[in-house]
Structure 1
């Protein structure tokens, strides 16, 4: 059973975190920067991740650098069996070197043109609601597929971002939630922001009331198993993916930041198989959830769902 051949979508991928290590090394050498060392075995505080991410992001200094990272990420996603990829870009830190928020978004969209890829414009939990509103307006104006909130959710208040989420209500609203804070944070993201998907939602996974809310609102969760042990957030065995599926919640396995955590989407499926005991049918169910929770065009969805069923049938018959 080759999980790389399972058609799927990657719905949680950050721009800098999608960079190839070889590209980072080349750009860092060009600009005289120090390449951050790999994140050693954890657990580590969030800052250990963020400092490495920030150092890598500093290597993206021109629109062409950004376009290159996006193009390579799309190629890598295809090789990973992803028929659709959504890349999150927070323009804030790139803007000073690239010429402003619009220039960042234009470069990303230019690299995605004609490719099976959508742009999610993201703000940060650490920024103000006014800043997020400006980026939400940008996402709508440029035709992004979604608006997100990233970074450490402990640094913001959900209520501050209601106006931004309302502005982006016709897009997918996809905040990170419940990575560190309790299940209440996930509930607020759903009830106040109208979230269509939640990034991580770790603290909600064993809270019956929150799971019922997610199921009733048809909110999907983007789970990135390889990201959690290094940050002390969860071990593989702590992720009850089967129970989430039983509760009627769509699960989309995603890669998050492969540059830092060293795992692509297929690796996440391998973790789910090896450490959570998910069989062929459950893995196919997750792949379907990644497609139906995405912004992929309808014809691509229909075709891919049929291909997933064909993969599942062949995998079951080969056992």
Structure 2
């Protein structure tokens, strides 16, 4: 399989295709296809992006992290009204459904929109319209994780949480922080307030800034799940703690390669993380911007950990999700049935 491009039906193994999947770490704004961005950019006359669709597709090919940020920010600028957010969320849901994804918890970069003057109600109304339509038409359930960038400081965290508590629908399951990794202790009070309101603490931590960021996420933010978290493996005591508490770690292999926190896919710590007993889930992070999809990530994992490891990852995603107990039980049973048909269990 070519791991540099999103999977196509001809390149997806039957096990990967047939397994029911959940995704717990995918960014809405990092999932915008080139075609959708082109449509929105023309609608709103967004400047500084290529003038033709072919040029835009070529521009979308990842080269380095500064280029990724350039494309990401252009994507964000094209999202302005309720219909835009509904269109994006609908496209994302449809693509997930095509990969047999049954449930996804989607990060929404809410502060990035608030700082541009887009009201939270516009964002939530748009994505909620798409969420309900996706469940009705495609059978895929979406839930939301609004977040803010760590490098924008405490004010951005407070403003984002205030907007979530004021406008957020019941389909918001958690509160997150992403962006360039930095100290997390200053956000302790904001996350304490989010948890008190019933939101799960779901921060990014430990992708490139060391295991101490994971410890801060656990100790200071009350993290229930860690986004990325591959640096956990650099601290054996932390690994033991995470295994004992079964704190999920959402891993995105292609993202780690693209951002160069891992040099080669053969060097990825995913197999070691599973061997250590960590509750690892498999995700895409920013799929269209990194040239991947969840089937592609499953294909990579199949090469790294084999069929039994792949089934374990699928089960882990369900167990680490905020699906209700009955739905979790049903999906786990379906995963086991598929694995049995493929001779894995």
TM-score normalised to the size of structure 2?
Answer: 0.84
Q: How does 1:281-296 map to 2 (within 5 A)?
A: 281-296=308-323
2:24 maps to: 11
Q: Which runs of 5+ in 1 are unaligned?
A: none
2:273 maps to 1:270: no
8 Å CA contact retained: 2:207, 2:230? yes
**3-state SS of the aligned residue for 1:122?**
strand
Match of 1:63 among 68, 76, 82: 82
Tell me which residue corresponds to 1:22. Answer: 35
> Alignment partner for residue 149 of structure 2, among 124, 129, 145?
124
CA distance in structure 2 between the aligned counterparts of 1:208 and 1:96, rounded to whole angstroms: 40
- Counterpart of 1:257 in structure 2 is 286
Q: Show the 5 A alignment for 1:1-319.
A: 1-33=14-46, 34-35=49-50, 37-41=59-63, 44=64, 46-95=65-114, 99-113=118-132, 115=135, 116-141=141-166, 142=168, 143=170, 144-154=172-182, 157-169=183-195, 170-234=198-262, 235-274=264-303, 276=304, 278-316=305-343
Q: How far off is 1:242 after superposition?
A: 2.7
**CA-CA distance at 1:240 after TM superposition:** 2.4
Does the Cα contact within 8 Å between 2:62 and 2:291 map onto a contact in 1? no
| Corresponding residue SS for 2:79 | coil
* Alpha carbons 1:147, 1:172 under 8 Å: kept: yes
* Range moving further from structure 2, 239-248 or 299-308: 239-248
Could you tell me how far apart the structure 2 residues matched to 1:207 and 1:99 are? 41
| Pairs aligned (count) | 311
Q: Indicate the RMSD between aligned Cα atoms, in angstroms.
A: 2.0
Q: Name stretches of at least 5 consecutive residues in structure 2 with no aligned partner.
A: 1-13, 51-55, 136-140
2:34–2:60 CA contact under 8 A, matched in 1:
no
Moved more, 231-240 or 252-261: 231-240
Instruction: Give the C-alpha shift of residue 92 in structure 1.
Output: 2.1
Please report how far the alpha carbon of residue 117 of structure 1 lies from its aligned counterpart in structure 2 after TM superposition: 0.7
